[in-house]
Structure 1
């Protein structure tokens, strides 16, 4: 059995990941450029090799079985190690690496300038940004499901992980410039009593910071909307639907153009640290080391 698995074509695992991504054999075959019968045959070959059912149909979607979920994690790791080997062996500069994060919106604001610089140095290396569940980044790194983690948190310590600081991020309370509190010279938390509040989804670091302050000062408010998108929260606030709490980076443009106003809250700054992290035993390739250095303002290696 082991010899059979080791001799198997990596394309089978790529097909497995593609089917899981689209939850559909037809869509996966279109993306891979294969006939649907070929995709079906490849999945069947994997099922015969492992002796388990990998996918099951559920509500018109092909969902991984419990065994399939385990195999998907190994498949992602196999592909990642293969891509890493292309980067490291014989000085090759092709391949890819994956950044896992729950903070996809902040990623979209912060990473593009760095990605552009990196692309000019390493045009043949691709970077995938994978959205993870809240608090799942550390598990994914330790399981080898992603290469780097992008987190927004307090300074963390974990013996299995290395943390590199990108920047300190301030969070601010914002509203439409027409909001009554926006014209005040200063406000205190109690001034938010009776306000309509827009919140991110429960459990996130951003919401926890805001709720801790509201709870500490016994502020009674009306929760208008719970939205898992900084962009949507920003637009709702802009249209006068309530007060919200967001990373300053995500509202800089709207503040400058006068579409949003930062409420002058007399309260200690809300700050968290934006960090990259990776497994302590992981040997980073030169391109990955450069990428980390680029974001964290350390001195990167010269491109290969």
Structure 2
């Protein structure tokens, strides 16, 4: 039984006239006549009788009217529920590195929350390898990471934009006056670096290892904020994404050293697993992120 036929039945009953019903529904009169004939055949009974210029419900049709209205009401509720399910809602699990979570993500997340307040944002930060494993195990929905270009058939890249990385020190650090800085200049320096799995630390140490250079010491700090403060206090130099020290550079609390060593070819990347169902909440986040980073 087609709900369109039932809707036509109820509309004709409301107007007591086939022509007016056809006008309201936007059908040709022949169409609604065919719909009523189909419905009468399915129900095995006559639904309308015409007396003069008026159309009346038969006694059987009067009994069926309540059922028809209930079915149409339930149909409308189902449609409304389907439309609601297409609206971003529920939880969205986003993983990111601390450096991006404190710089790139706040304005993006604020705009997303403004547009889709019904979505519960769950944020997680860790390291690149843990993100990728979490994606594989469906522990997170999407991750924003900073690393060398990820090429893996399991993951779908939404964005991949170059992230400027630099070597930074206090304005009165001895290397500030040295001009161009090479790997060998780091031999007697104290380096303030992130954890061992940090991508830019990894690249810096690889460059030093290739040339047999060992720094004076390494202070391992797992906080970008603490790293910035220690470097500004001239306890050592560091390598960080430029965006994380923007305010410190503007205030001249830090300077960027003229690094001439191997480049840090790193990209900010947004990934999700190829098998992930793209929920409305995730779809909205991916689209907003793509616009944000372009």
TM-score (ref. length: structure 1) = 0.65
| Corresponding residue pairs, total | 214
The structure with the larger Rg is 2
Answer yes or no: is 1:153 the counterpart of 2:112.
no
In structure 2, what is the Cα distance between the partners aligned to 1:237 and 1:249? Answer: 16
Name the structure 2 match of 1:188.
182
Runs of 4 or more, structure 1, over 4 Å off, are 86-89
Name the structure 1 match of 2:95.
100
The question of whether the paired residues in 1 share the 8 Å contact of 2:195 and 2:222 is answered with yes
The question of whether the paired residues in 2 share the 8 Å contact of 1:199 and 1:223 is answered with no
Q: Deviations over 1:119-146 (max 9, x none)?
A: 2211211211113455111221111111
2:231 to 230, 237, 256: 237
1:130 to 119, 124, 133: 124
Name the structure 2 match of 1:269.
263
In structure 2, what is the Cα distance between the partners aligned to 1:152 and 1:133? Answer: 9
Q: Deviations over 1:211-251 (max 9, x none)?
A: 01212232231124111112111111010100111111101
Given the superposition, is the C-alpha separation of residues 119 and 203 from structure 1 closer, same or farther in structure 2, using an over 3 Å criterion? closer
1:252 to 246, 251, 254: 246
The question of whether the paired residues in 2 share the 8 Å contact of 1:227 and 1:233 is answered with yes
CA RMSD of superposed structures (Å): 2.4
265-274 or 224-233, larger mean C-alpha shift:
265-274
Q: Give SS of 1:270's match.
A: coil
In structure 2, what is the Cα distance between the partners aligned to 1:163 and 1:144? Answer: 16
Q: Deviations over 1:159-214 (max 9, x none)?
A: 22212225211211111100011123322221222111112111221210110121
In structure 2, what is the Cα distance between the partners aligned to 1:297 and 1:145? Answer: 25
Q: Give SS of 1:218's match.
A: coil
Name the structure 2 match of 1:295.
289
Name the structure 2 match of 1:215.
209
In structure 1, what is the Cα distance between the partners aligned to 2:244 and 2:127? Answer: 21
In structure 2, what is the Cα distance between the partners aligned to 1:88 and 1:183? Answer: 63
Where structure 1 has 5 or more consecutive residues not aligned to the other structure, the ranges are 1-85, 300-304
Given the superposition, is the C-alpha separation of residues 87 and 173 from structure 1 closer, same or farther in structure 2, using an over 3 Å criterion? farther
TM-score (ref. length: structure 2) = 0.67
Name the structure 2 match of 1:198.
192
229-238 or 263-272, larger mean C-alpha shift:
263-272
Answer yes or no: is 1:165 the counterpart of 2:159.
yes
In structure 1, what is the Cα distance between the partners aligned to 2:234 and 2:290? Answer: 37
